Amino acid sequence: MQLTKAQREQFDRDGYLFFPALFSPQEIATLTDEVPHLYAQDRPENVREKQGGAVRTNFAAHLYSAPFARLARHPRMVLPVEQLFGESVYMHQFKINGKNAFDGDVWQWHQDYGTWLNDDLMPTPRAMNVAIFLDEVNEHNGPLMFIPGSHRLGVLEAGHDTTTTSYPLWTINNDNIRTMVEKAGGRDGGIVAPKGPVGSMLLFHSCLVHASSSNLSPWNRVSVYLSLCAVSNHIRRFKRVEWIAHRDFSPIECLPDDCLQQDYVVDLPWENGTPPEAARTSLERLEETA
Protein backbone atom coordinates (compact mmCIF):
# COMPACT_ATOMS: atom_id res chain seq x y z
CA MET A 1 0.00 0.00 0.00
CA GLN A 2 1.83 3.05 -1.31
CA LEU A 3 0.14 6.38 -1.84
CA THR A 4 0.46 7.79 -5.33
CA LYS A 5 1.84 11.24 -5.98
CA ALA A 6 -1.71 12.39 -6.76
CA GLN A 7 -2.92 11.09 -3.39
CA ARG A 8 -0.13 12.83 -1.52
CA GLU A 9 -0.90 16.08 -3.32
CA GLN A 10 -4.58 15.63 -2.57
CA PHE A 11 -3.82 15.16 1.10
CA ASP A 12 -1.71 18.31 1.16
CA ARG A 13 -4.42 20.29 -0.61
CA ASP A 14 -7.60 18.95 1.03
CA GLY A 15 -6.33 17.59 4.35
CA TYR A 16 -7.90 14.15 3.98
CA LEU A 17 -7.94 10.96 1.94
CA PHE A 18 -10.85 8.55 1.67
CA PHE A 19 -10.49 4.83 0.93
CA PRO A 20 -13.93 3.27 0.40
CA ALA A 21 -14.18 -0.41 1.36
CA LEU A 22 -10.47 -0.66 2.16
CA PHE A 23 -11.19 -3.58 4.49
CA SER A 24 -13.53 -6.40 3.49
CA PRO A 25 -16.76 -7.12 5.37
CA GLN A 26 -15.14 -10.36 6.60
CA GLU A 27 -12.17 -8.46 8.01
CA ILE A 28 -14.44 -5.93 9.74
CA ALA A 29 -16.62 -8.72 11.15
CA THR A 30 -13.70 -9.90 13.31
CA LEU A 31 -13.80 -6.46 14.94
CA THR A 32 -17.56 -6.02 15.13
CA ASP A 33 -17.97 -9.44 16.74
CA GLU A 34 -15.60 -8.39 19.50
CA VAL A 35 -17.33 -5.12 20.41
CA PRO A 36 -20.05 -6.55 22.72
CA HIS A 37 -17.34 -8.34 24.76
CA LEU A 38 -15.48 -5.07 25.14
CA TYR A 39 -18.57 -3.14 26.15
CA ALA A 40 -19.48 -5.83 28.71
CA GLN A 41 -16.24 -5.34 30.62
CA ASP A 42 -16.24 -3.27 33.75
CA ARG A 43 -13.17 -1.15 33.19
CA PRO A 44 -12.41 2.58 33.09
CA GLU A 45 -11.79 2.53 29.33
CA ASN A 46 -15.54 2.15 28.83
CA VAL A 47 -17.13 5.60 29.02
CA ARG A 48 -20.85 5.10 29.54
CA GLU A 49 -23.91 7.29 29.01
CA LYS A 50 -25.16 8.83 32.21
CA GLN A 51 -28.58 7.35 31.56
CA GLY A 52 -28.86 3.64 30.79
CA GLY A 53 -25.18 2.80 31.03
CA ALA A 54 -24.66 2.14 27.30
CA VAL A 55 -21.05 2.57 26.22
CA ARG A 56 -20.51 5.77 24.29
CA THR A 57 -16.78 5.40 23.81
CA ASN A 58 -14.36 2.55 24.44
CA PHE A 59 -10.69 3.48 24.74
CA ALA A 60 -7.48 1.54 24.15
CA ALA A 61 -9.01 -1.77 23.02
CA HIS A 62 -5.76 -2.48 21.16
CA LEU A 63 -4.13 -3.14 24.55
CA TYR A 64 -6.56 -5.83 25.68
CA SER A 65 -8.35 -7.20 22.60
CA ALA A 66 -6.51 -9.33 20.03
CA PRO A 67 -8.59 -8.30 16.97
CA PHE A 68 -8.17 -4.60 17.73
CA ALA A 69 -4.49 -5.10 18.55
CA ARG A 70 -4.12 -6.56 15.06
CA LEU A 71 -6.00 -3.64 13.51
CA ALA A 72 -3.62 -1.28 15.31
CA ARG A 73 -0.75 -2.91 13.41
CA HIS A 74 -2.44 -3.15 10.04
CA PRO A 75 -0.20 -2.17 7.14
CA ARG A 76 -3.10 -0.78 5.07
CA MET A 77 -3.58 1.80 7.79
CA VAL A 78 -0.08 2.38 9.13
CA LEU A 79 2.02 2.48 5.96
CA PRO A 80 0.24 5.42 4.25
CA VAL A 81 0.62 7.48 7.41
CA GLU A 82 4.30 6.62 7.73
CA GLN A 83 4.71 7.55 4.10
CA LEU A 84 3.09 10.96 4.59
CA PHE A 85 5.16 11.72 7.70
CA GLY A 86 8.38 10.16 6.45
CA GLU A 87 8.97 8.36 9.72
CA SER A 88 7.60 5.71 12.06
CA VAL A 89 4.46 6.33 14.07
CA TYR A 90 3.14 5.32 17.50
CA MET A 91 -0.44 4.98 18.71
CA HIS A 92 -1.42 8.22 20.41
CA GLN A 93 -5.11 7.43 20.85
CA PHE A 94 -7.36 4.49 20.01
CA LYS A 95 -11.10 4.52 20.52
CA ILE A 96 -14.30 2.91 19.34
CA ASN A 97 -16.94 5.55 19.03
CA GLY A 98 -20.63 4.95 18.56
CA LYS A 99 -22.87 7.63 17.14
CA ASN A 100 -25.89 5.58 17.96
CA ALA A 101 -29.14 5.25 16.08
CA PHE A 102 -31.77 7.83 17.07
CA ASP A 103 -29.73 9.63 19.71
CA GLY A 104 -26.22 10.13 18.37
CA ASP A 105 -25.34 13.68 19.30
CA VAL A 106 -23.93 16.64 17.42
CA TRP A 107 -20.22 17.48 17.44
CA GLN A 108 -19.64 21.16 16.78
CA TRP A 109 -16.88 22.35 14.43
CA HIS A 110 -13.45 21.70 15.93
CA GLN A 111 -9.88 20.58 15.32
CA ASP A 112 -8.35 17.69 17.21
CA TYR A 113 -4.83 19.03 17.38
CA GLY A 114 -5.89 21.89 19.63
CA THR A 115 -6.58 19.40 22.43
CA TRP A 116 -3.43 17.43 21.76
CA LEU A 117 -1.34 20.59 21.90
CA ASN A 118 -3.00 22.08 24.96
CA ASP A 119 -3.50 18.94 27.02
CA ASP A 120 -0.72 16.64 25.86
CA LEU A 121 1.91 19.17 24.72
CA MET A 122 2.25 17.45 21.37
CA PRO A 123 4.82 19.69 19.66
CA THR A 124 3.46 19.78 16.07
CA PRO A 125 0.39 18.51 14.18
CA ARG A 126 2.33 15.53 12.84
CA ALA A 127 -0.30 13.09 14.07
CA MET A 128 -2.92 11.62 11.75
CA ASN A 129 -6.58 11.08 12.48
CA VAL A 130 -7.82 7.76 11.17
CA ALA A 131 -11.46 6.67 11.03
CA ILE A 132 -12.38 3.10 10.12
CA PHE A 133 -16.08 2.45 9.50
CA LEU A 134 -17.47 -0.53 11.43
CA ASP A 135 -20.89 0.47 10.10
CA GLU A 136 -21.88 1.93 6.78
CA VAL A 137 -21.80 5.72 6.85
CA ASN A 138 -24.57 7.37 4.87
CA GLU A 139 -26.14 10.81 4.64
CA HIS A 140 -28.61 10.04 7.43
CA ASN A 141 -26.47 8.66 10.26
CA GLY A 142 -24.34 11.70 11.02
CA PRO A 143 -21.29 11.45 8.76
CA LEU A 144 -18.14 13.42 9.55
CA MET A 145 -18.14 16.77 7.76
CA PHE A 146 -14.85 18.37 6.70
CA ILE A 147 -13.93 21.81 5.45
CA PRO A 148 -11.37 20.91 2.77
CA GLY A 149 -8.07 22.74 3.08
CA SER A 150 -8.83 24.11 6.54
CA HIS A 151 -5.84 22.20 7.95
CA ARG A 152 -3.55 24.68 6.20
CA LEU A 153 -4.62 27.42 8.62
CA GLY A 154 -2.87 25.66 11.51
CA VAL A 155 -4.23 25.86 15.04
CA LEU A 156 -7.26 28.12 15.20
CA GLU A 157 -8.60 30.06 18.14
CA ALA A 158 -11.31 28.09 19.88
CA GLY A 159 -13.78 28.60 22.68
CA HIS A 160 -14.70 26.03 25.27
CA ASP A 161 -18.26 24.93 24.53
CA THR A 162 -19.79 23.21 27.52
CA THR A 163 -23.45 23.73 26.69
CA THR A 164 -24.32 22.40 23.23
CA THR A 165 -23.45 18.77 23.67
CA SER A 166 -23.02 16.29 26.45
CA TYR A 167 -19.23 16.72 26.43
CA PRO A 168 -17.13 19.89 26.51
CA LEU A 169 -15.29 20.69 23.30
CA TRP A 170 -12.99 23.44 22.05
CA THR A 171 -15.05 24.77 19.17
CA ILE A 172 -14.40 27.34 16.45
CA ASN A 173 -16.62 30.36 16.11
CA ASN A 174 -19.25 30.66 13.42
CA ASP A 175 -17.74 33.61 11.57
CA ASN A 176 -14.49 31.73 11.12
CA ILE A 177 -16.33 28.64 9.87
CA ARG A 178 -18.27 30.76 7.39
CA THR A 179 -15.07 32.28 6.02
CA MET A 180 -13.32 28.91 5.76
CA VAL A 181 -16.27 27.28 3.98
CA GLU A 182 -16.43 30.17 1.49
CA LYS A 183 -12.72 29.89 0.85
CA ALA A 184 -13.04 26.13 0.33
CA GLY A 185 -15.65 26.60 -2.38
CA GLY A 186 -18.83 27.63 -0.58
CA ARG A 187 -21.78 25.55 -1.65
CA ASP A 188 -19.57 23.95 -4.25
CA GLY A 189 -17.51 21.66 -2.05
CA GLY A 190 -16.91 23.94 0.92
CA ILE A 191 -18.15 21.12 3.14
CA VAL A 192 -17.64 17.46 2.28
CA ALA A 193 -18.99 14.40 4.09
CA PRO A 194 -17.35 11.20 2.85
CA LYS A 195 -19.80 8.30 2.90
CA GLY A 196 -19.13 4.65 2.25
CA PRO A 197 -19.62 1.02 3.16
CA VAL A 198 -18.38 -0.92 6.15
CA GLY A 199 -14.58 -1.13 6.04
CA SER A 200 -13.95 2.29 4.53
CA MET A 201 -11.08 4.35 5.94
CA LEU A 202 -10.58 8.09 6.29
CA LEU A 203 -7.20 9.66 6.99
CA PHE A 204 -7.42 13.30 8.02
CA HIS A 205 -5.00 15.95 9.17
CA SER A 206 -5.13 16.77 12.87
CA CYS A 207 -5.77 20.45 12.02
CA LEU A 208 -8.61 19.70 9.60
CA VAL A 209 -11.78 21.41 10.86
CA HIS A 210 -14.60 18.90 11.23
CA ALA A 211 -18.03 18.40 12.78
CA SER A 212 -20.83 15.90 12.64
CA SER A 213 -24.57 16.16 12.82
CA SER A 214 -27.01 14.21 14.91
CA ASN A 215 -28.02 10.66 13.99
CA LEU A 216 -31.81 10.41 13.78
CA SER A 217 -31.67 7.28 11.60
CA PRO A 218 -32.22 3.74 12.86
CA TRP A 219 -28.62 2.92 11.89
CA ASN A 220 -25.72 2.96 14.32
CA ARG A 221 -22.58 4.63 13.10
CA VAL A 222 -19.78 2.92 15.02
CA SER A 223 -16.25 3.75 13.95
CA VAL A 224 -12.75 3.13 15.20
CA TYR A 225 -11.03 6.49 15.58
CA LEU A 226 -7.33 6.52 16.24
CA SER A 227 -4.45 8.88 15.97
CA LEU A 228 -1.06 7.83 14.74
CA CYS A 229 1.63 10.25 15.87
CA ALA A 230 5.08 10.58 14.33
CA VAL A 231 7.46 9.07 16.88
CA SER A 232 9.63 12.20 17.06
CA ASN A 233 6.48 14.23 17.76
CA HIS A 234 5.45 12.28 20.87
CA ILE A 235 3.55 14.06 23.60
CA ARG A 236 5.50 15.87 26.32
CA ARG A 237 3.02 15.81 29.16
CA PHE A 238 0.80 13.17 30.79
CA LYS A 239 -2.07 15.41 31.82
CA ARG A 240 -4.61 12.88 30.55
CA VAL A 241 -4.92 9.28 31.69
CA GLU A 242 -2.95 6.79 29.65
CA TRP A 243 -5.94 5.08 28.03
CA ILE A 244 -6.83 8.41 26.41
CA ALA A 245 -3.34 9.66 25.54
CA HIS A 246 -0.86 6.82 25.25
CA ARG A 247 2.65 6.93 26.70
CA ASP A 248 4.34 4.13 24.81
CA PHE A 249 6.17 5.90 22.01
CA SER A 250 7.72 2.84 20.43
CA PRO A 251 7.15 2.58 16.67
CA ILE A 252 4.31 0.40 15.49
CA GLU A 253 5.56 -2.75 13.81
CA CYS A 254 3.14 -3.85 11.15
CA LEU A 255 1.73 -7.34 10.84
CA PRO A 256 1.14 -8.93 7.42
CA ASP A 257 -1.76 -7.73 5.29
CA ASP A 258 -3.98 -10.68 6.25
CA CYS A 259 -3.71 -9.95 9.97
CA LEU A 260 -7.45 -9.46 10.44
CA GLN A 261 -8.09 -12.96 9.13
CA GLN A 262 -5.21 -14.91 10.65
CA ASP A 263 -4.58 -15.30 14.38
CA TYR A 264 -1.19 -13.65 14.60
CA VAL A 265 0.07 -13.44 18.16
CA VAL A 266 -0.07 -9.92 19.57
CA ASP A 267 0.97 -8.48 22.90
CA LEU A 268 -2.01 -7.60 25.13
CA PRO A 269 -0.41 -5.85 28.10
CA TRP A 270 -3.72 -4.68 29.66
CA GLU A 271 -5.58 -7.96 29.15
CA ASN A 272 -5.84 -8.58 32.88
CA GLY A 273 -6.76 -5.02 33.80
CA THR A 274 -5.61 -1.46 33.52
CA PRO A 275 -2.29 -0.88 35.30
CA PRO A 276 -2.68 1.58 38.20
CA GLU A 277 -0.01 3.91 36.87
CA ALA A 278 -2.12 4.46 33.71
CA ALA A 279 -4.55 6.47 35.80
CA ARG A 280 -1.82 8.72 37.21
CA THR A 281 -1.55 12.12 35.59
CA SER A 282 0.88 14.95 35.84
CA LEU A 283 1.11 18.56 34.76
CA GLU A 284 4.87 18.32 34.55
CA ARG A 285 6.59 18.58 31.25
CA LEU A 286 8.52 15.45 30.28
CA GLU A 287 12.25 15.79 30.07
CA GLU A 288 13.23 15.46 26.47
CA THR A 289 15.62 12.58 26.72
CA ALA A 290 15.70 11.85 23.04
* Residue 261 within binding range of its own copies, rule CB under 8 A: no
Of residues 178, 263, 275, 284, which one binds its own copies by CB under 8 A? 178
What are the Cα distances from residue 234, in Å, to 63, 285, 289?
A: 19, 12, 12
Residue placing its CB nearer to its own copies in the complex, 177 or 203: 177
Kindly state the smallest distance separating residue 152's Cβ from its own copies, in Å.
19
* Residue 20 within binding range of its own copies, rule CB under 8 A: no
CB contact set of 131 (below 8 Å; sequence gap of 6+): 144, 201, 202, 204, 223, 224, 225
Residues 139/193, Cβ–Cβ less than 8 Å: yes
* Residue 286 within binding range of its own copies, rule CB under 8 A: no
Cα 107 from Cα 162, distance rounded (Å): 12
Of residues 109, 113, 238, 270, which one binds its own copies by CB under 8 A? 109
Residue placing its CB nearer to its own copies in the complex, 132 or 177: 177
Q: Letter for the amino acid at 229? A: C
The distance from CA 231 to its chain's CA centroid, rounded to whole angstroms, is 17
* b/e per residue 95-106 (b: at least 16 CB within 10 A): bbbbbbbeebbe
Of residues 47, 79, 193, 286, which one binds its own copies by CB under 8 A? 193
* Residue 218 within binding range of its own copies, rule CB under 8 A: yes
* Residue 213 within binding range of its own copies, rule CB under 8 A: yes
Cα 126 from Cα 122, distance rounded (Å): 9
* Residue 111 within binding range of its own copies, rule CB under 8 A: no
CB contact set of 209 (below 8 Å; sequence gap of 6+): 109, 110, 111, 146, 147, 150, 151, 156, 172, 177, 180
* Helix/strand/coil for 256: coil
Instruction: Give the x-and-dash track for 50-89 against its own copies (CB under 8 A).
Output: ----------------------------------------
* Residue 165 within binding range of its own copies, rule CB under 8 A: no
Q: For the chain, state the CA radius of gyration.
A: 18
Of residues 191, 208, 209, 266, which one binds its own copies by CB under 8 A? 191
Kindly state the smallest distance separating residue 143's Cβ from its own copies, in Å.
9
Size of the site for its own copies (CB under 8 A): 27
Provide the binding-site residues for its own copies, judged by CB under 8 A: 101-102, 106, 108-109, 136, 138-140, 142, 145, 174, 177-178, 181-182, 187, 191, 193, 211-214, 216-219
